[in-house]
Structure 1
Amino acid sequence: MFLLQLFGATMLLLYSVRMVRTGIERSFGASFKRIITTAGVSFRAAFTGLTLAIVLQSSAAVAILVSDFAGKKVLQFGAGLAIVLGADLGSALLIQILSFDLEWLVPVLLTVGGTLFLKTDSRKLKQAGRVILGLAFILISLKFLRETMDPIRDSAFLPAIAGYLEKDFLTAFLVGAALAFVMHSSVAVILMCVTLVSIDAIPLGAGISLVLGANLGSATVPIWLNRGAVAKAKRILLVNLAIRGSGAFIVLLILNGIVVTTYMTEISEAQSLVLVHILFNFALLVFLPFLKYLQAPAERFIPDDSAPVSVPASHHVSVLNDGLLNNPRLALIGLRREVLRMLHLVELMTTPILDIYEKYSDEQAREIVKQDRYVNDALKGIRTFVSALPTDTISHEENNRLRNLIEYAIALEQSGDIVVLYLAPRAEQMYKEGGVFSSEGKRELLAMHELLLENLNLAASVLISDDLSSARLLKEGKTEMTNFERSSRTKHLNRLQAGTRKSISSSDIHLDTLRSIRHLNSLISSVCYPILIDNGLLLKSRLLSEEETAEEYTLQGSLE
């Protein structure tokens, strides 16, 4: 029963941490790239990492994001490593917050979180509810863990294990590293250690060794998860492992050599353990001024890949196989993969579009046009492939799926046209006329663009899985975008009436961009409609408002 309760408490703790991280990522996932890639260097970058780790409840999640951006060459080595070191400190500060006695807060968090998640329609409010519920579950799991350990605290079994770990600090160090790696969460492991120390289940000395080992183990998690990444992506993670691993081992030897626990009498043992963890991660920031000198050794020991990895090429080659035409089920799978490839191409076109507004580049504009040609070619290939399918072998259900995929492929082709025919020309016009957005208008466009990127990722999930909950989220995201565009347009007109000079000079471009992003989002989100209709959550016939009808007709006519 003890083992079952311990396993249950541990799983609830892991699930709760993941629940918080998922809610944050779904609400602000597209914002992280902008935050990370504009972090600068040194202490500013470290503070960015610290903040993101507290928000995401995981330094490993931040490290994986940094590694991904470094692999795509949008983040420099020094800035990336500074963010990761800051994230480790942020994770330590988060443990300090969660280690306080906050049980009185659980009913409040459950009430507020449950209300937001179950009773609101806004996607961001729902995800805020998810985050708040996750925090409540973390506190519940810690209480569950304390109650589980209480009955065996005075038994012969636990003191024997705890005494062994205290005497053999190297074993305790390795156990902590293994737990952090297996659980994929240093936050969960260290919170568990703090809880066990607080109820005298294990001595402080063993707790310190376990926590230092968890610091080593947490640095190995992103390396394992990114083991197939390119060299540029691996360097930051491996250097971080070298810094944290060697630092943790040195501190382990020092603290056990001078028996530092005998001097920690002014504060509780649990707080002492948290303090050691925070001070260790704070001490690692001493490397910040020297990070630029670590790049050359890292490149020497981890050289670039012998052959460049052609990631874009995988997007530019059709995955359709004429050999599958006589097998409708496999043909539909291939067709779905091809539509997913089109979606990735549209994402490649859409992601940098606001950067071109900010700093126009002919090279980037030409690359976007080039991507659109691939999208058009993909649609032509899909039409040819579908026309060759033997209709007598296709069931009614397969025919419906086939039609839905074709319709979505057409919508994606139109999405590419919007980027090329509307957004990119507006960016060029703004560059030639020397126009600038007001600070408020720029923030509004940036927020809409981030929401668009979030919906792009969600659309890919819906396309792959046909998941109903994801389809609902995507529909809510479309509604949110419509409301956002309407609100931003009203604010823009208010700025015009107030005589804001920048708003006047860029008015047409601002309004056209708002409308184009909204319509682009509508096309991308259309993948959710068949799923919602099949589950009776959406009427097959919907009456658009007069305003929406006019806009759709005008833009569609222009595209045709």
Structure 2
Amino acid sequence: MFRRAQNPQVHDLGRVFIGIGFMLLALHQLLDVLTEYAGTRTFQTVLSGISTTPILSLLLAAIVTWAAHSSVAVVLLVMSLSSKGLIDPYQAFALTLGANLGTAINPVVEGHSGNDLSAKRVPIGNLVTRIAGIAIAFAALSPIVDWMTAIDGDGARLIANFHTAFNLIVAVLVMPFLAPLANALVRLMPQRIDENDPGHPRYLDPSAKETPVVALQAAAREVLRLVDILGEMLTGTKDALTSNDRRALSSLRQKDNVLDRLNTAVKRYLTSIDPDELSEADRHRLDEILLFSTGLEHAGDVLDQNVLPHLAKRLRRGIKFSKDGHRELSDLLDRLATNLRTASALFMSQDERVARMLADEKIAFRKAERDGTSDHFKRLRRGDIDTAETTRCTSICCGTSSRSTLT
């Protein structure tokens, strides 16, 4: 699937299966290493020394899980030790609780390390719920051991049942308290706004919504940022026709994410304005802004989903466009960039002359697309076109233009 699939989704799914395979392989190898250590006299001495102090068993398992980065591996090790009779069920349950604690520590310690504390909300929330569940289970460990041992006395199965039951019960019990817990985490770890983040709106002033005409101008100004970002994507797409820089393609796809975030921010801002405060002209302008912003975001999706995957495939296969094909694609992208500037001028000026100019350009652009496609097929019949253009030139031309709202 990864090597031979033509469909990008199937290709990526093959990569997913490869990743899962490597994870399972690593897990088995890790378990083999831990099992080897479990048979040593030193390890057995440590287990005997902490067997009378369950809290030490819990802490030891937490440390080992943190170091191994896998609670599954540690729980499997505990199951192995229990099946061999090296530890009793009480100590095995304490070790299992420690494995559940250790797996919650890793995301907190090794997760996002920036200045934005909001990135720590989920791992800290997970750690808090785990600690609460472990504390309750540890306090009632004796009756839990007696009850579960009476159900199934098999050492390995006993640990698997306890591990599964613990996680399910904690999940069910925490569900009703998710909202207050989330609110508390938001208050304790507020999001740090990065003013340099390109996806963060700059002109959507909440206080301006009290004066709709000012709010509409602020939203229009924000939409012009979408125009700039889409223009950068078109320029980058043109450069990618001949460039071999994979990072540049990845950067272009990130710009589409910025478009999505800004478009969402504009829509939320405009739809939060009190409709009773809007005049008929204000409503018309609001609809125009929403339509234009959505069109820009859609044009970015066309580039991201229809064009960039073909360019990425060109890089993977190491092929190039012919000179004529490259010229035609470059000309189309240049015309799209010009249309984008014209559309933004019309959006701000509302000038009928600009509207007529853009409408005429739409017809001319369609003709250029048809001519380019016709020339492409002529070169195919002559047999003087390379593999890349043969397979992708027409689809990129159409993907760039036929679904784009710029024209």
Give the structure-2-normalised TM-score: 0.52
The residue correspondences of 1:10-409 to structure 2 (distance < 5 A) are 122-124=10-12, 126-127=14-15, 129-130=17-18, 133-134=21-22, 137=25, 140-141=28-29, 144=32, 148=36, 153=39, 156-224=41-109, 225-228=111-114, 230-256=116-142, 260=145, 264-265=149-150, 266-284=152-170, 285-299=172-186, 302-304=188-190, 308-310=192-194, 313-315=196-198, 369-376=224-231
Aligned counterpart in structure 2 of residue 548 of structure 1, from 395, 398, 402: 395
Question: What are the superposed Cα offsets for residues 85-127 of structure 1, whole Å, 9 maximum, x if unpaired?
Answer: xxxxxxxxxxxxxxxxxxxxxxxxxxxxxxx566766415523
TM-aligned CA deviation for residue 295 of structure 1: 4.4
SS at match of 1:264: helix
TM-aligned CA deviation for residue 212 of structure 1: 0.6
Q: Name the structure 1 match of 2:378.
A: none
CA distance in 2, matches of 1:551, 1:378: 17
Cα RMSD over matched residues?
A: 5.3
Residues 263 and 274 from structure 1, CA distance in 2 versus in 1: closer, same or farther, beyond 3 angstroms? closer
CA distance in 2, matches of 1:210, 1:406: 46
Aligned counterpart in structure 2 of residue 533 of structure 1, from 287, 296, 318: 318
Question: What are the superposed Cα offsets for residues 214-256 of structure 1, whole Å, 9 maximum, x if unpaired?
Answer: 2122222222213436344433432332221132133223315
Residues 558 and 233 from structure 1, CA distance in 2 versus in 1: closer, same or farther, beyond 3 angstroms? closer
Q: Which amino acid aligns with 1:127?
A: R
TM-aligned CA deviation for residue 276 of structure 1: 1.7
User: Is the CA contact (8 Å cut-off) linking 2:51 and 2:57 kept in structure 1?
Assistant: yes
Q: Which amino acid aligns with 1:542?
A: E
TM-aligned CA deviation for residue 171 of structure 1: 1.5
Residues 521 and 216 from structure 1, CA distance in 2 versus in 1: closer, same or farther, beyond 3 angstroms? same
CA distance in 1, matches of 2:186, 2:303: 45
Residues 267 and 127 from structure 1, CA distance in 2 versus in 1: closer, same or farther, beyond 3 angstroms? farther
TM-aligned CA deviation for residue 174 of structure 1: 0.9
Residues 143 and 236 from structure 1, CA distance in 2 versus in 1: closer, same or farther, beyond 3 angstroms? closer
TM-aligned CA deviation for residue 165 of structure 1: 2.9
User: Is the CA contact (8 Å cut-off) linking 1:220 and 1:241 kept in structure 2?
Assistant: yes
Q: Name the structure 2 match of 1:446.
A: none
User: Is the CA contact (8 Å cut-off) linking 1:193 and 1:211 kept in structure 2?
Assistant: yes
CA distance in 2, matches of 1:380, 1:162: 64
Residues 310 and 202 from structure 1, CA distance in 2 versus in 1: closer, same or farther, beyond 3 angstroms? same
TM-aligned CA deviation for residue 140 of structure 1: 5.0
Deviates more, 1:548-557 or 1:119-128: 548-557
CA distance in 1, matches of 2:93, 2:303: 55
User: Is the CA contact (8 Å cut-off) linking 1:142 and 1:195 kept in structure 2?
Assistant: no
Q: Which has the larger radius of gyration?
A: 2
TM-aligned CA deviation for residue 546 of structure 1: 8.8
Residues 147 and 127 from structure 1, CA distance in 2 versus in 1: closer, same or farther, beyond 3 angstroms? same
CA distance in 1, matches of 2:4, 2:243: 35
User: Is the CA contact (8 Å cut-off) linking 1:208 and 1:276 kept in structure 2?
Assistant: yes
User: Is the CA contact (8 Å cut-off) linking 1:169 and 1:209 kept in structure 2?
Assistant: yes
Q: Which runs of 5+ in 2 are unaligned?
A: 202-215, 268-296, 321-385
Question: What are the superposed Cα offsets for residues 503-533 of structure 1, whole Å, 9 maximum, x if unpaired?
Answer: xxxxxxxxxx999956543432325634642
TM-aligned CA deviation for residue 205 of structure 1: 2.7
TM-aligned CA deviation for residue 293 of structure 1: 3.2
The residue correspondences of 1:480-499 to structure 2 (distance < 5 A) are none
TM-aligned CA deviation for residue 368 of structure 1: 5.5
User: Is the CA contact (8 Å cut-off) linking 1:176 and 1:217 kept in structure 2?
Assistant: yes
Q: Which runs of 5+ in 1 are unaligned?
A: 1-115, 318-344, 346-360, 387-399, 428-512
User: Is the CA contact (8 Å cut-off) linking 2:31 and 2:73 kept in structure 1?
Assistant: no
Q: Name the structure 2 match of 1:457.
A: none
Residues 551 and 218 from structure 1, CA distance in 2 versus in 1: closer, same or farther, beyond 3 angstroms? same
CA distance in 1, matches of 2:174, 2:17: 38
Question: What are the superposed Cα offsets for residues 374-410 of structure 1, whole Å, 9 maximum, x if unpaired?
Answer: 45369889x9xx9xxxxxxxxxxxxx9996569968x
User: Is the CA contact (8 Å cut-off) linking 1:205 and 1:261 kept in structure 2?
Assistant: no
